[in-house]
């Protein structure tokens, strides 16, 4: 690519024009006319200024440059016609967020490159790209200069692909529910799978009702029928004996709560109730792109929890794939019903690791807040690996226990178990214990309960859908199965 375009025009996207996994428009390759950014820490300030000319050093001192975190100082070109470069203060932090708001703070239409310094180029590329994300696929025509762009730093190919995976998850979560129904979500799995040469199967209709009865019950109230998307892939260095990694995602494209109807305020963000599916699909894409020496199976339950004369009712008793019967204690606890069928099927293949992700409970947010997805696992070693990996890449999680003493709270007088507890405590843990009933104890299993949303704009984390746990999960798998 050459220089930055003078402007951009965009029209509202039609459903079939949405490109899942779109390219990162915030990067350019080897732009010769790019301007320099000097990332700087406070301890390197004086040496940097001493190496600059007297005029430039005087200007930067006069601008109050201290290299504190988030400080950005632009200095003029020698001919005074525009910016000549910029200095970015990093402070002491080593996370990617120090580069996370550069795209919006640098002059529109400009192209920049990073000068060497005391920072990791891959983290800089990741932070820049995550901060440059915009979801404007459904906005009307825009005629404005393109945001500032960055020359791709050397040795940052993995970070660029990480950012592209996060963009994919964010795009899916942010897409309005009238544009992303169960079939469209299943089609997204098909597109991403075929892009990587994976085999994809979409199960619908009578076959779904037979194989996934709990998912069928959740989707019965909607005019948009449910689907289960199954993606199978094998790395180029893998064979039939290679580790099998099974991923499962809750893909509730919109959640009214069913007959236990949500208040209107609580329904406003329920397009994000397929956040677990979005993250698992994006993780699968990144795993395939990295060509890990594993076998991969992804299962996404694509369904809408709506209200009609066909919808499941509180006190209904449902059959599940595993053979267990479940009394519906609350129709708004539908996510665990979607996952239980997926987990049961995944476990039939005796995977080396079984991972699910879901926007499952508000209780997890009460326990750990919006920035810390909650992790449960029956395998302490994998729990430790994933917790450590998330912390290492600024994608943290909070581990909570599977407390056996609460398992009896799921008892039912009319079925094998209830979908909820009658006690108003430990909601995230109760949901995890419910899911554990569908996983054999000998299967290493990890359950993520995530928020998948940013409530406010922060560097690298714009308001809207968020691909939480994605980078930590794939980073751990990449390290362990390298």
Catalytic residues: 262, 336
Sign of CA dihedral 450, 180, 280, 308: positive
Q: In what order do the strands lie in the sheet with 417-418?
A: 317-319, 325-327, 417-418
Span between the terminal Cα atoms of the chain, in Å:
33
Ramachandran region, residue 473 (left: φ > 0; alpha: ψ -120 to 50; beta: rest): alpha
Give CA 297 to chain center in angstroms.
18
Which residues partner with 28 through β-bridges?
151
Q: Is the alpha carbon torsion for 96, 97, 100, 106 positive or negative?
A: negative
Q: Which residues, at least 6 apart from 425, have a Cβ–Cβ distance to it below 8 Å?
A: none
Pairing of strands 295-305, 244-255: parallel
The CA angle 158-161-163, to the nearest 5 degrees, is: 110
Strands (E), 292-386: 295-305, 317-319, 325-327, 353-358, 374-377
Distance of CA 456 to the CA centre of its chain: 16
Pairing of strands 72-76, 227-234: unpaired
């Amino acid at each position: 690519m050459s220089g930055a375009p003078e402007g951009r025009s965009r029209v509202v996207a039609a459903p079939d024009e949405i490109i899942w996994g779109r390219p990162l428009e915030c990067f350019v390759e080897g732009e010769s006319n790019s301007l320099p950014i000097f990332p700087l820490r406070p301890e390197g300030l004086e040496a940097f200024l001493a190496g600059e000319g007297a005029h430039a050093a005087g200007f930067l001192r006069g601008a109050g440059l201290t290299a504190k975190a988030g400080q950005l100082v632009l200095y003029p070109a020698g001919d005074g016609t525009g910016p000549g470069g910029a200095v970015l203060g990093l402070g002491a932090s080593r996370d990617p967020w120090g580069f996370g708001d550069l795209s919006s703070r640098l002059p529109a239409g400009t192209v920049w490159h990073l000068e060497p310094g005391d920072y990791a180029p891959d983290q800089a590329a990741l932070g820049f790209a995550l901060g440059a994300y915009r979801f404007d696929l459904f906005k009307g025509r825009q005629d404005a200069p393109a945001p500032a762009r960055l020359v791709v730093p050397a040795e940052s190919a993995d970070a660029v692909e990480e950012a592209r995976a996060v963009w994919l998850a964010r795009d899916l979560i942010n897409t309005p529910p009238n544009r992303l129904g169960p079939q469209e979500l299943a089609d997204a799995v098909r597109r991403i799978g075929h892009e990587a040469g994976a085999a994809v199967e979409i199960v619908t209709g009578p076959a779904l009702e037979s194989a996934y009865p709990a998912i069928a019950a959740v989707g019965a109230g909607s005019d948009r029928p449910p689907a289960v998307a199954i993606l199978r892939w094998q790395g180029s260095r893998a064979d039939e004996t290679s580790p099998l990694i099974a991923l499962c995602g809750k893909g509730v494209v919109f959640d009214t709560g069913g007959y236990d109807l949500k208040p209107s305020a609580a329904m406003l963000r329920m397009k994000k109730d397929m956040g677990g599916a979005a993250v698992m699909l994006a993780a699968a894409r990144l795993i395939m792109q990295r060509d890990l020496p594993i076998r991969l199976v992804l299962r996404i339950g694509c369904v809408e929890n709506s209200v009609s004369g066909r919808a499941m009712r509180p006190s209904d008793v449902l059959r599940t794939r595993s053979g267990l019967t479940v009394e519906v204690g609350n129709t708004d606890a539908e996510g665990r019903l979607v996952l239980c069928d997926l987990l049961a099927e995944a476990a039939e293949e005796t995977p080396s690791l079984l991972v699910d992700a879901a926007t499952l409970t508000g209780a997890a947010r009460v326990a750990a807040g919006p920035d810390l997805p909650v992790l449960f696992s029956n395998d302490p070693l994998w729990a430790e690996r994933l917790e450590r990996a998330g912390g290492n890449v600024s994608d943290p999680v909070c581990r909570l226990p599977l407390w056996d003493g609460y398992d009896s709270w799921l008892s039912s007088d009319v079925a094998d178990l209830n979908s909820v507890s009658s006690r108003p405590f430990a909601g995230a843990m109760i949901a995890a214990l419910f899911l554990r009933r569908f996983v054999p104890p000998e299967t290493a299993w990890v359950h993520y309960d995530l928020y998948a949303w940013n409530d406010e704009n922060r560097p690298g984390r714009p308001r809207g859908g968020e691909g939480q746990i994605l980078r930590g999960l794939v980073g751990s798998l990449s390290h362990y199965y390298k």
